[in-house]
Amino acid sequence: MMPMPKAKHFYSVKTTGVYCRPSCAARPKMENVGFHATAAEAERAGFRPCKRCRPEREALDYAIGETWLGLSLVAESGKGVCAILFGNSRTALKRDLRDRFPDAVFIETGRALAGFVDGSRFAVDLRGTAFQKEVWQSLRKIPAGQTASYADIARTIGRPKAVRAVAQACAANPLAVAVPCHRVVRSDGSLCGYRWGTERKKRLLAREAA
């Protein structure tokens, strides 16, 4: 792997006219190498993206590990955490991530995941339609230990007739726990479906209630 100066994320090679990620398999001579903080900076300097490592594509760091909610995956962009997913296998979790971000490059890390599923606060990078993000932001305002119905959320965002659309936005949520769709229940207070399983929803609500 190419050694990178602090805060520099790409390198260019003046003999080939391309720029690469530090993980690229290319091994240029150091006297021909320059460093850049962003892909745009490298391109402004006149370099074109490497066809091998595709540095113009967004890179997402991700980690997979066991948490108190089972096997989990957390992915992070330069803006914040963009996915918190649960699953039964590493393969399924990686497939889910690829399906959600088909144009990204993925870099697996050994990051600990406990803080992302225990209610800690961190920057998030919400990806979705304007309506979905409106619903998700509303969900983030539900205090831990409390619940709301789909109808409550629809009224909160000023669209009282959009109950079904609110439910669909909850189902599309890529940020389990951080966007607490588990706090949404039926109008009679009973539990409804949860993308990552009703048992996880019960555990989350019970923990928050305590």
- What 3-state class would DSSP assign to 3? coil
> Looking at 20, 170, 181, 192, which residue is catalytic?
181
Q: Which CATH class is domain 10-49?
A: alpha beta
Name which of 45-54, 121-130, 175-184, 188-197 the model is least confident about. Answer: 188-197
Catalytic site includes residue 181: yes
- Average per-residue pLDDT for the chain: 91
Q: Which CATH number fits domain 130-209: 2.20.25.240, 3.90.1310.10, 1.10.10.10, 1.10.760.10?
A: 1.10.10.10
Which tokens hold the place of 179?
Answer: 């966007």
CATH 1.10.10.10 in the chain is located at: 130-209
CATH 3.40.10.10 in the chain is located at: 10-49
Please, where are the H alpha helices in the chain? 39-44, 90-100, 130-139, 150-156, 163-171, 198-209
Q: What is the pLDDT of residues 38-56, one digit of tens each?
A: 888 999 999 999 998 888 8
Mean pLDDT computed over 1-23: 81
> What residue type is assigned to position 158 of the chain?
G
Question: How much is the pLDDT for 191?
Answer: 84
In CATH terms, the fold of domain 59-116 is Double Stranded RNA Binding Domain (3.30.160)
Q: What is the pLDDT of residues 136-170, one digit of tens each?
A: 999 999 999 999 999 999 999 999 999 999 999 99
Q: What percentage of the chain has pLDDT greater than the value 90?
A: 69
Label residue 8 by pLDDT band (50, 70, 90): low
3-state DSSP of 126-161: CCCCHHHHHHHHHHCCCCCCCCEEHHHHHHHCCCCC
* Contact criterion met (CB below 8 Å) for 200 and 126: no
pTM for the model stands at: 0.78
Question: How much is the pLDDT for 56?
Answer: 85
Segment holding 76, helix H or strand E: strand 70-76
